[in-house]
């Protein structure tokens, strides 16, 4: 059952991210050509500010997730209900605070505008974009946590996949008919609410034992403040770039350039993360049952597969990003989108983040938030300080360098911590895998640049992408197999069993 749930979670998460990538690439281009780079930059900037005020969630979700692993594994449903009652109460309070902060943001945010966009539109856009998060606090959040802890996260992702497709179709039609951007975003919020209703009905029908009337076990969520520190630092590291650009440059067109590049990077990161996050509950259950040897073996297999995926993705990104941008922005003339240095920095960010993901999954599964919070805080400090120092001089590249510096530090810190404190004896293997794959990446990039290809349209880019992908796959798979024959054999056996099922 554990393997089946893990497989369903992974596949559904990957399908969802593929859908999000496809719709997420086309719709922003349509928005820029229809409404302009300034409007696209405004929407992206507001989204990042909302991610800051959503920190009032205070680590409730992840703290509840960790607290639920053990009682669910032991089928102690009374304890489960007590934890869920506490989770609901905390989410309600967080939602009320978020609502007040959202209204405050709507009043203050227009001050960051250069004056090119109507103030009323900006304020209503803040309310509309924040409404989906408000629904998450008051309704969906507790159910999403429960399903993920039950290894049923695929229910959420399947529902989100359907909602994403429906939302994309409606948005594309509205944009084609040149409807207002506010209406387009309002539709997205409405679709989100419909998704919430379905999940609510599913949980109530499937889990009849679930009740929110039990006495709340607030002590079970005592880790939420440690989780909150990680969430704050995570938001700072992942969202500081746009916020710093908004405050110091006040140029929505530059923010639009950043968000188009970040669109590619974030989609790759999210696609990879969907694989890892789907396994967090599985590892959490295994840790709860003290199956140490199974954890170690599973982790090394998971890391092997994830590194292959990550380095292939980063290699293809490095080679294909600029050709992609040339075709993607061919009809956009209100900003300069072809920036090779920016493409390189984004690739380094994707790779640095991906290398840490397997180790970070273990930290989340075992709940070591307090033990790693100092390093997380230092990561955020590095990001903010370097970004602010360089943004005026280097613009977009300045804030990216800040992110690269913070990622470089934190990634190695996480790998070393897990190799020494969580799963002993894996550090040497992890480091050798990273070094080996970096060398392979350099070789593949060198070969592709020596061959060279001019791309003028989507068909040529697609054919070029296939070539790059095949070369990368062969190179990484063959060399890694030569160095770790037994591990490769285990991976192929697992893939074979999955295909047969």
pLDDT of 166 over the 70 cut: yes
Give yes or no: residues 67 and 18 share one domain: yes
Q: Give pLDDT, residue 185.
A: 86
For residue 386 the two structure tokens come to 């370097």
Give yes or no: residues 203 and 295 share one domain: no
Give yes or no: residues 237 and 218 share one domain: no
Give yes or no: residues 230 and 121 share one domain: no
Q: Give pLDDT, residue 47.
A: 82
Q: Give pLDDT, residue 1.
A: 45
Q: Give pLDDT, residue 5.
A: 52
Q: Give pLDDT, residue 127.
A: 92
Mind listing the pLDDT tens digit for each residue in 24-38? 677 777 888 888 878
CB 386 within 8 A of CB 325: no
State the total domains in the chain: 2
Give yes or no: residues 140 and 208 share one domain: yes
Most confident of 98-112, 177-191, 386-400: 386-400
pLDDT of 500 over the 80 cut: no
Q: Give pLDDT, residue 29.
A: 78
User: Which structural domain, as residue segments, surrounds residue 145?
Assistant: 1-222
Give yes or no: residues 164 and 276 share one domain: no
Mean per-residue pLDDT, 120-124: 89
CB 125 within 8 A of CB 50: no
Of 188, 222, 256, the last residue of a domain is: 222
CB 43 within 8 A of CB 129: yes
Mind listing the pLDDT tens digit for each residue in 204-221? 888 888 888 888 887 766
Distance CA 282, CA 264 (A): 29
Of 160, 195, 222, the last residue of a domain is: 222
In sequence order, the 6+-apart residues with CB closer than 8 A to the CB of 180 are none
Give yes or no: residues 193 and 249 share one domain: no
Distance CA 480, CA 440 (A): 9
In sequence order, the 6+-apart residues with CB closer than 8 A to the CB of 30 are 172, 175, 176
Distance CA 205, CA 86 (A): 21
Mean per-residue pLDDT, 379-385: 92
Q: Give pLDDT, residue 117.
A: 77
Of 206, 222, 238, the last residue of a domain is: 222
pLDDT of 333 over the 70 cut: yes
Give yes or no: residues 204 and 230 share one domain: no
Give yes or no: residues 133 and 266 share one domain: no
DSSP category for residue 395 = T
Q: Give pLDDT, residue 295.
A: 74
Global pTM reads: 0.70
With cut-offs at 50, 70 and 90, classify the pLDDT of residue 444. very high
Mind listing the pLDDT tens digit for each residue in 246-278? 888 777 778 888 888 988 888 888 777 766 655
Of 255, 276, 267, 275, nearest in space to 317 by CA: 267
Give yes or no: residues 291 and 411 share one domain: yes
CB 263 within 8 A of CB 25: yes
Give yes or no: residues 182 and 274 share one domain: no
With cut-offs at 50, 70 and 90, classify the pLDDT of residue 289. low
**Cα-based distances in Å from 286 to 107, 157, 282, 295, 305:** 48, 23, 6, 7, 19
Distance CA 89, CA 69 (A): 20
Give yes or no: residues 132 and 260 share one domain: no
Q: Give pLDDT, residue 402.
A: 94
CB 220 within 8 A of CB 8: no
DSSP category for residue 216 = P
With cut-offs at 50, 70 and 90, classify the pLDDT of residue 67. confident
The mean of the pLDDT values for the chain is: 82
């Amino acid at each position: 059952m554990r393997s089946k749930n893990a497989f369903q979670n992974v596949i559904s998460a990957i399908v969802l991210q593929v859908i999000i990538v496809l719709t997420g690439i086309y719709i922003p281009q349509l928005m820029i050509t229809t409404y302009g780079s300034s409007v696209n930059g405004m929407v992206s900037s507001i989204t990042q500010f909302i991610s800051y005020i959503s920190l009032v969630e205070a680590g409730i979700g992840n703290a509840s997730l960790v607290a639920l692993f053990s009682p669910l594994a032991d089928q102690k449903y009374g304890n489960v209900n007590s934890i869920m009652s506490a989770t609901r109460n905390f989410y309600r309070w967080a939602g009320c605070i978020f609502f007040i902060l959202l209204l405050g943001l709507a009043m203050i945010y227009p001050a960051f505008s250069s004056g090119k966009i109507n103030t009323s539109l900006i304020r209503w856009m803040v309310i509309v974009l924040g409404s989906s998060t408000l629904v998450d606090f008051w309704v969906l959040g507790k159910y999403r946590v429960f399903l993920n802890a039950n290894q049923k996260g695929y229910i959420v992702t399947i529902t989100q996949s359907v909602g994403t497709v429906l939302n994309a179709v409606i948005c594309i039609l509205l944009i084609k008919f040149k409807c207002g951007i506010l209406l387009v975003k309002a539709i997205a919020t409405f679709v989100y609410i419909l998704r919430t209703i379905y999940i609510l009905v599913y949980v109530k029908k499937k889990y009849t034992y679930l009740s929110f009337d039990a006495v709340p076990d607030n002590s079970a969520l005592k880790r939420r403040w440690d989780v909150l520190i990680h969430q704050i630092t995570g938001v700072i590291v992942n969202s500081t770039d746009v916020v710093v650009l908004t405050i110091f440059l006040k140029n929505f067109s530059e923010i639009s350039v950043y968000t188009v590049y970040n669109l590619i990077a974030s989609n790759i990161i999210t696609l990879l993360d969907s694989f890892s996050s789907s396994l967090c509950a599985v590892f959490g259950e295994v840790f709860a049952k003290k199956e140490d040897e199974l954890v170690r073996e599973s982790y090394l297999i998971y890391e092997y597969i994830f590194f292959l995926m990550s380095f292939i993705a980063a290699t293809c990104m490095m080679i294909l990003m600029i050709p992609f941008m040339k075709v993607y922005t061919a009809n956009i003339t209100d900003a300069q989108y072809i920036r090779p240095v920016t493409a390189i920095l984004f690739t380094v960010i994707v790779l640095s983040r991906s290398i840490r993901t397997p180790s970070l999954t273990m930290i989340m599964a075992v709940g070591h938030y307090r033990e790693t919070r100092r390093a997380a805080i230092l990561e955020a400090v590095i990001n903010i300080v370097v970004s602010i120092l360089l943004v005026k001089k280097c613009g977009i590249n300045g804030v990216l360098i800040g992110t690269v510096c913070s990622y470089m530090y934190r990634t190695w810190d996480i790998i070393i911590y897990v190799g020494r404190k969580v799963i002993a004896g894996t550090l040497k293997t992890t480091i050798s895998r990273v070094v080996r794959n970096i060398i392979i990446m350099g070789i593949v990039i060198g070969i592709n640049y020596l061959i060279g290809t001019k791309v003028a349209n989507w068909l040529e880019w697609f054919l070029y992408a296939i070539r790059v992908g095949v070369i990368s796959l062969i190179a990484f798979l063959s060399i890694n197999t030569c160095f770790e024959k037994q591990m490769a054999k285990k991976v192929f056996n697992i893939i074979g069993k999955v295909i047969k099922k």
